[in-house]
Homo-oligomer: A and B are copies of this chain.
Amino acid sequence: MRFLDYFRSKKTSSASVAKERLQIIVAHERGRRDQPDYLPQLQQELLAVIRKYVQISDDMVQVEVDRNDNCSILELNVTLPE
């Protein structure tokens, strides 16, 4: 699966609420299978960077990880305080 297909397969919710949100998607497409997967560590550092800009607590962050043969996708969804 190419990672752009992943984005396109997402459903939008029907409600359009004016909320403050931040979404970060990191897709790592590996040429070979035996390469290291550094997304879990990267996830922690990305959150640390975001915390410099906005105050977020752990329960405001939804993390999804999707892996297959040659692509790892990390998705961070943050609902920001208004």
Using a CB–CB distance below 8 Å, which chain A residues touch chain B?
Answer: 2-5, 7-8, 10-12, 16, 18-32, 35, 38, 41-42, 45-46, 49-50, 52-53, 70, 82
Contact = CB atoms under 8 A, between A and B. Distances in A.
B53 A42 contact: yes
Contacts of A8: 7-8, 10
Given A25-B24, A46-B46, A18 B31 contact: yes
Contact of A16 (B2, B16, B19): B2
Contacts of A5: 12
Contacts of A19: 29, 31
Contacts of A24: 24-27
